[in-house]
Amino acid sequence: MSGSIRRVLVANRGEIAVRIVHACRELGIETVLAVSEADRDSLGARLADRAVCIGPPRAPQSYLDVARIVTAAVATGCDAVHPGYGFLSESPALARACTEHGLTFVGPTAAQLEAMGDKISARRLAREAGVPTLPGSEQVRTPQEALAVAREVGLPLIVKASAGGGGRGMKVVSDVAELPSVLTTAAAEAAAAFGDPTLYVERFVRNARHVEVQVLGDRHGHVVHLGERDCSLQRRNQKVVEEAPAPGLPLQVRDALHAAAVRLARRIGYESAGTVEFVLDRDTGEFFFLEMNTRIQVEHPVTELVTGIDLVQQQLRVAAGEPLAFGQCDVVHRGHAIECRITAEVPSADFRPDAGRITAWDPPGGPNVRVDTHCVPGYLVPVYYDSLLAKLIVYAPTRAEAIARARSALRRFGIEGVRTTVGFLDFLVGRPEFADATMTTHTIADALGEFAPADAA
């Protein structure tokens, strides 16, 4: 790698911080980990070349504070800032502040972040690029405007926050009488979560799959896709299990998804790793643009395993100004990979988060079993952040073998001290809907009542 990036401030925590530190180490780049007071003794802090405390445990005073992040990077002599995912990873303000202080932001430009971060703007750009979008609206300000859309496109509708993400600010409406109260609730939730109450509405697809396409672009005008992932297994619009490639897609649909994602990335001159997300209507076979995530995704490892391409290293190379070292014809997909997100939650209690000290941590090993984590025996799971403990990723020549390997690895994953979703994930991956690839975004909600935890009284 060229020498334009020598030292990176990793502006994140948990497993993605550890992942970035390892990627930097392989490229000969020094790392400084920005930590809150709650993460001073974290695994990431031990692995990085240096750790610097940026504030109290609560994210608004640490991981979400642009000034603290930039100050830490400048004070420790960093050349670049890698934001990971979540927190400030899609913040135009952080990207701009980095530029103003002579730092490289490891991600797309501030203008690209703004264009795709506003979901209404992103829908408009998708249409301009010839990418199908769901019938819906621009901004809706009143129940009357939403009602007009309902009359035009039909029910059900989904109300969404223009600045949204992670399932927040999203509400499904099946009865027009619900529109006024839903709009009020969604706007308040969006304002609290994102500082922006702007809403829009789209037709809601009931029998839906969630399929996304990984893209890579550089500042020299090159864009490639690295195939697609299926992320249909979700709870409260948040992904739980992901796999690559998406099973059971007709070739023409797969090719059309790839082409649409590349067109959109080229339309905005995209730089870095990004993901174009689509909803696939199982009833009609149509697909529609949902959003573009302008960052590394939690589920990026399944793409890495089937392509052999390190996405975090590619982010760093692109940020350093290097052109992509491969073209579309060089991207080869082999085998099948599945990722299970292991969280400190209680599935039988509507996925209530759990916290406490991990008294035993015994992750599975073996060929083609990967565990991305920041946990160790004795780790205190804090109450301040997302409940993700680890990602179990398996690879096999076929999907059936990958499913068997995932279930075997889950059953060998020993965790004590906090309640986790390990048993639920084994139940989920063993479901007939998963085996025959007929799962939808509602499968978890429909199946949850059948889950009987092993420690149930």
Gyration radius of the chain's alpha carbons: 21
Q: What is the DSSP letter of 191?
A: H
- Rounded CA-CA distance 115/104 in Å is 20
SS3 211: strand
Packing angle of the helix pair 92-100, 66-75 (nearest 10 deg): 30
Q: What are the Cα distances from residue 170, in Å, to 164, 197, 299, 313, 350? A: 8, 12, 22, 33, 18
- Token readout for 97 is 């502040």
Q: Which amino acid is at 374?
A: H
Q: How far is CA 302 from CA 17, 290, 357, 405, in A?
A: 18, 21, 29, 14
- What is the C-alpha to C-alpha distance for residues 41 and 23, in angstroms, rounded to an integer? 21
Q: Phi and psi at residue 275, in whole multiples of 5°?
A: -130, 125
**355, 379 Cβ separation under 8 angstroms:** no
Contacts of 166 (CB under 8 A, 6+ apart): 237, 238
Q: How far apart are CA 154 and CA 335, in angstroms?
A: 41
SS3 of residue 311 by DSSP: helix
The question of whether 295 is a catalytic residue gets the answer yes
DSSP run (H or E) holding 353: strand 352-353
Query: Which of 295, 370, 399, 407 is an active site residue?
Result: 295
Q: Residue 327, class by beta-carbon neighbours within 10 Å (0-12 exposed, 13-18 middle, 19+ buried)?
A: exposed
Asked if 69 and 93 touch (Cβ cutoff 8 Å), the reply is: no
- Catalytic residue numbers, as ranges: 295
